[in-house]
Structure 1
Amino acid sequence: MGFVGLLYVGAVLFINGLMLLGAVEPRSAAPINLFVGALQVITPTYLIFTANGDPAVILNASGLYLFGFTYLYVGINLLAGLDGTGVGWFSLFVAVVAVGYAWANWQLLGSLPFAVIWLYWAFLWALFFLVLGLKREELTRYTGWVTVIEAWVTAAIPAFLLLTGLWREPGITAIALAVVGVVVFGALYARIHPRAPSAPATTPTRTAHPAAG
């Protein structure tokens, strides 16, 4: 059931990334945030209530609320035209906790690929904090592209592979995800991050000697 929700997380991240890039009007992105946000609250609640006290299931499900609340928060903000600083600071909380979930997936749940995916999410939500919480608007375009990429790499594609039984070779998958993340996001930042304008070149001027005629 959680894999179904992950598929639609890909959808909402894709739309939100396009919104940050200016391709989707903000209010029109509100419904998908509310739909997926509600799904990401209902799904973990069901999983926890039917877990029969299994700590691994409860741990896995508990992290879904972080995203469910994010999307509900964003959807309500967009419809009401509210300031985004609240979402931004909540995103900082999500980013910090996501690092903990990365560790838990690696050490407690034995899922290296999802440990790396949680680090992807920690990075993305940290960007949301910078753009919305600290108003670093120069990072908006970069964050939009990172969001679009993560929609597919961390959500839609893994969910489809898991749903179809094609999720294999977790060790290789984890390494590939880590390498792709560092290379792609680093190259993207270098390409589109605005640089400070360089000082105009000046031509040295010849200073007249006091004795010159």
Structure 2
Amino acid sequence: MTDPVLRLEALRHGYPTPQGRLPVLDGVDLSLSGGETMALTGESGAGKSTLLHLAAGLDTAESGVIEVCGADMAGRDDAGRAALRRAHIGVVFQQFNLVPSLRVGDNIAFQARLAGREDPGWTAELADRLGLSPLLSRWPEELSGGQQQRAAVGRALAARPALLLADEPTGNLDEASADAVMELMLELTRTAGCALLMATHSAALAARLGRRAQLRGGRLCDETGAAA
């Protein structure tokens, strides 16, 4: 039996406030295997973005286990977490986070180049599927918000990651574009065995994923309210 792509165990995290520590995650357990898709729902402030940032190694958890492709994420320093992220993870942020000094085509290829896995054919296919082929020579500031979001999705998929973490990836897209981007992400999980964990407020998008869990009171619950 192979290790899950993502394993979280007893994950706890909070933030300091003038009134004391504000708990956000209070013992989250989660396991996601290759090819699985999960929608992470919950009210604003429930901790969805926090959970994704911890899983990506962008923040350090207070306590708990974070493993990606069987490798310890939580116990690594910044450089170690960055190396593990480059090797295995694609991230789509709420904000586009495109590199303003790189043209669109180079932005899409950026993560794959860092990981040493650039595939020009796959990058070109992504650009075409995302409707960005005519825009590859433009600068990010010359794109609309929706176009920038599609470029960010392409960048995350270009390295064919084992784990795709997406934080409201279609929030800035119209319905038709959102459906196309969602279909592309789901296709990657089917063809490449990639696991997808997506935070979303959309019940319609959540329903398209194989599993659904809600963050409530710092814990993951299934659709019935029971612990996930």
TM-score, normalised by the number of residues in structure 2: 0.31
Higher helix share: 1
- Structure number with higher strand proportion: 2
Structure label with greater radius of gyration = 1
TM-score of the superposed pair, with normalisation by structure 1? 0.33
